[in-house]
Amino acid sequence: STEEARTRILAGMSQGMGPDILCGPTSDFYMMAEKGMLQDMEGLISEETKQELLPAVLQMGTVEDVLLGVTPTVHVETFAVSENLGKKEQWGLEEIIQLMEEGKLSGSLRTLYLLPDYSKPIYTVQFLLFENLGNSFLIDWQQGECHFEDERFVRFLELTGRDMSNQSAEDLQETDLIYAYMYYEYALIDFFTKVETEGLQIIGYPGGEGASYLCQDGGMVVVNKNCTDLEAVEFFLETLLGEEIQERNTALGTLGVRKLNPEVHLVRDEEGVARWMGVQDILNYEDGTTPLHQAAEFLETCVPEPRMFSDINIIISQELENMHAEGKSAEETAQIIDNRIQLYLDE
């Protein structure tokens, strides 16, 4: 089985054996890094190649200032709302709840480039809590206390409780809270077209710094600390991260890890009008740029997805599932979540 193979590989590495190169999930990457099982990759990737990679790609593979892994493909996650809601210094959970209360934001998350068009309530809550577990009224990490029984969280569960996941969305609405999950190039083009034509503002993940996330999409490629043929490893990594393979990723409908060069995929006619891949009409701005140029700049501002509060997320997910399956009230569910997470923090 897959788990047996994983156990065998990790056991071999701990005994000075195992494969020279392997690709695994982020959780295993951090575990192997913490146990000192990985080779420093700093000298295995040329400076020229590093300069061509998106900044967040190197950041997500760096643990305690040492480059220990690299992902071959990525996807992007962010949030957007109508410009008519005005600009805010920070879009935190309390601001989102207030706008839902006022009817200015829907309690159902409108998803782009994923199905269904509206996420289930459990995912709406998870996505919106992601940054806020570390930076909101919900958990006082300094005191080791949680406050999921707070009336604001209870109201949040009520406002996001309607399940619209079986409904098809039509045009974007001014009240839509949009979650965009972009894993191929044309999704980026379409998203920035919508930003321009639908009057949207990108707010990033609510809470924290309001950042948009660049996330690993094909596991983390790492090098065994016991590897002796580092010259072969260097050749492999340069090939994996090189232009030919990364361009092939784009052609196959995934996002590569190199900085996006818009003109490579745009074909301009005699009047200078650009089309994506020469066949797909896209917006052309007066200065000659396109939504793909906006996407290229955007990708370089994205940050690595932070490490999740996995145990806390599991507790919240379990109780939300029980809430909707058993018809429990938001207040009862919030109290159960609060009790369980407080117990977790106490331990």
Classified as helix, coil or strand, 35 is: coil
- Per residue in 256-307, pLDDT tens? 999 999 999 999 999 999 999 988 999 999 999 999 999 999 999 999 988 7
Query: How confident is the model at residue 309, as a pLDDT?
Result: 76
Segment 53-75 mean pLDDT: 96
In whole angstroms, give the CA distance from residue 282 to residue 38: 44
DSSP per-residue letters across 171-214: S--TT-EEEEEE-SHHHHHHHHHHHHHTTEEE--SSSTT-PPEE
Contact 94, 138 (CB under 8 A): no
Instruction: Name the residue among 295, 343, 298, 287 with its Cα closest to residue 190.
Output: 295
In whole angstroms, give the CA distance from residue 82 to residue 143: 37
Looking at the DSSP assignment, which residues form a beta bridge with residue 258?
53
Contact 82, 93 (CB under 8 A): no
**Residue predicted with more confidence, 16 or 237:** 237
- Per residue in 96-139, pLDDT tens? 999 999 999 999 999 999 989 999 999 999 999 987 888 789 99
Query: How confident is the model at residue 119, as a pLDDT?
Result: 94
In whole angstroms, give the CA distance from residue 278 to residue 300: 25
Query: How confident is the model at residue 138, as a pLDDT?
Result: 93
Confidence of residue 88 (pLDDT cuts 50, 70, 90): confident
Radius of gyration of the chain (CA): 22
pLDDT at position 2 over 90 = no
Query: How confident is the model at residue 117, as a pLDDT?
Result: 93
